[in-house]
Structure 1
Amino acid sequence: MSAQETTNRKNLLLLVQLRWLAVVGQVITILIVHFQMGVDIPLAQMTGIVACLLVLNLATLLRLNSDRDVTQAELFIELILDVAALTAQLYLSGGAANPFVSLYLLQITLGSTLLDTRSTWALVAFASLCFLLLMRFNQPLVLPNLEDGGFLTRYIQGAFVSFLLAAILLVLFITRISRNLRERDAHLADLRQQSAEEDHIVRMGLLASGAAHELGTPLATVSVILNDWRRMPKFKKDAELIEDIREMQAQLDRCKQIVTGILMSSGETRGEGTIRTTIRDFFDETVVDWLASRSPATFDYNNALVPDTAIVFDAALKQVVFNLFDNAFEASPNWVGLSVTRQEDKLVTIVRDAGPGFSPDMLDTLGTPYQSSKNRPGSGLGLFLVVNAVRKLGGTVVAANNPGKGASVTLTLPLTTLSPEGIA
């Protein structure tokens, strides 16, 4: 659904709500004028017009329940019908001499806010024509007590009721429109923020991809040199030195894996990096890989997936989980917890720690770059990348402080985006 169609649908619903109020106002006005002011008006005919407005509102509500787009033409027709109904009521109650003729301005105010310029001027022309016709064609009101300023008194009373009705409807209308505008501005601000974050990710991805390519050559060179050293006789004689070379080679291999992961995460060699597995196997292997280079005192792992589900993943998803583990480990080296569950068609992953928890500011700005309590250059990108990567998969990330001590980050992903059928 486009933004314009959404706006038109909201505006049409607003017209329906205002028409309910207008109907109530008309009924109350008819009763006051007829019974309290003692003015003889054609009750049956005026009640019929109110009934027509009720039918129009019910038909409009049925229209809103359909999936068809709401157009400006429909809004224009709805307002034209409202002006026509008002004209019919005025025709039956004195025409242009009726103090409620000022309600035309209320209809024009609605049109100027809800319609485009051309439609608004067309509405003005139609209302003006109706006003002119009422000056010539109408059913005069028979007012009692015309002597001693009775007519003027009745007119002022009617003008006050007209003013009160218009004021109430305008306040309700303008208040609602202002709220809609604030919601729209907030939505646009969120879209701008999301666009800025995605642009930031693109620039980071290009930088990381370029750095990974540049690192490939020196890493390969160092690997060749280390292999040569291991075969040289003078190094073979020193067992301690050979062990250091093996350790250097292992760390070098890890650097190569990191570079490969960066390239795959940025979209390069993605097909080769895509792996078909199950959720249980994915998390089992991810935990093993992460524990190979980190050593929390306790890692509490609970995989409660019954039954297991087939998925397709690449290095980006694995890196997301790694980032959650790393953040928890830095906050709580002694204990890190992981639980994996399935809720209907969603995968729910919760990473917990026993650290100091998130500050209120960090919870409010979750997902924005460089928001961190680590106070070092470049920190604060882990959760930023996690939130945006998960958002692209249609999921959500929620951070919270646990009762007592520690914090948790809940990652929710729709299984449809991870299923082999969805990837294919």
Structure 2
Amino acid sequence: MTVLLFIVGVLFVVLGIAASIALHEVGHLVPAKLFKVRVTQYMVGFGPTVWSRRRGETEYGLKAIPAGGYVSMVGMFPPAATEDGAVRPSSTGVFQQLTNDARQAAAEQLQPGDENRVFYRLPIWKRIIIMMGGPLMNLLIGTVLFAVLLMGFGTAQPTTTIASVSECVVPASQQAETGQTECGADDPAAPAYEAGLLPGDRVVTFDGRDVTSWDELSGWIRDAAGREVGISYVRNGETVDSTITPLLTERPVVAADGTAEVDDEGDTVMQEVGFIGVGSTQELVPQPAGAVLPAVGDSLARVAGVVLNLPQRVVEVGQAAFSDAPRDPEGPISVVGVGRIAGEISAMEEIPVASRAATLIGLVAGVNLALFVFNLIPLLPLDGGHVAGALWEGLRRTVARLFGRPDPGPFDMARLLPLTYAVAILLMGMGVLLIYADIVKPVDLFG
């Protein structure tokens, strides 16, 4: 059963990513057709074609390697011409030959009547819409999935029902120094253990006040150090009254996002607070619609941070893959890594089905937001590179018009093909490295 659940989780994410790629290309296809550009191919994947059908002037199909996709439009590159309109002679240079070959291939696609249907003749704003259509489709998918995740399933929130009770209290600083995880002879008994609390008990009052949330209860416990107070909890449908004396002990200062705060030297910030030694259960609580966009924004900010430091992050992945160093759980991973994580989550039968489903949806949503940010990088062959080229052309033409100079014409994107090939090789190398690392040194999210 565990193996079957693992496979189900992997398939869910694989199909979700494949659908996201297909819809990304639809984001390019639809505006291209609306603007009358002739689209010759809409393909999901790369390599040999395994299936295709022609509808009108466009061939729709699937390729053997499901690692991306493309929409082929006529007239991506303008013809190279001299000032009198004559085509420049071919150069024997390797880079120039690559450029000439690309122009020749683009010219061979043209048919009678395509004069006003080529991509490079479109107004700049239309070209930007076409190229931004793919990333914006991923942003839309990610936002919709976040809405399903937050409003439909909800986010995990601590409840007032106890999940665990510690037998003793070990100061956090002592745990950090010695790695102690079990109770020692000199460790004081945990107040909750002495008061008779058990996992499954639901705390209803503390110090004479009704308990409505775990955060509220935690604050009262922290403030009641050394003082005996009353506590009531429900066990098996019956209310039990008792007393408890929170113990003053060192605990980490927790930030708003739930992580421990650290100082300038990287050490965990500690504080002395009341502590009783219990942990809470978690349950999914649906969130309002207003929580969706802030959550998407936070996720985009985290992804952007990874992308901005991508070279360093990839080097760190390589160092971890070929050494004993652990992988950074916040670093980049490949589709293989995402699939493995999805399988592990799906196979965790101790976690409720709703929580597992929500996590899988969150993975696909995160991949879409990552695709949105990554495709905005202003380098060819990424969509951001085409947008940058269109903006540069607009700037050149605007400057020429302001200074009364002749129109410089369309920007020749074909001249950037050598750089495009170099970037493509780097991206493929990065992909191979991430896949290798995800096989030999996978990210450990579950300890």
Same fold (TM over 0.5): no
Give 1 or 2: higher strand fraction: 2
Give 1 or 2: higher helix fraction: 1
TM-score normalised over the length of structure 2: 0.27
Q: Which has more radius of gyration?
A: 1
TM-score normalised over the length of structure 1: 0.29
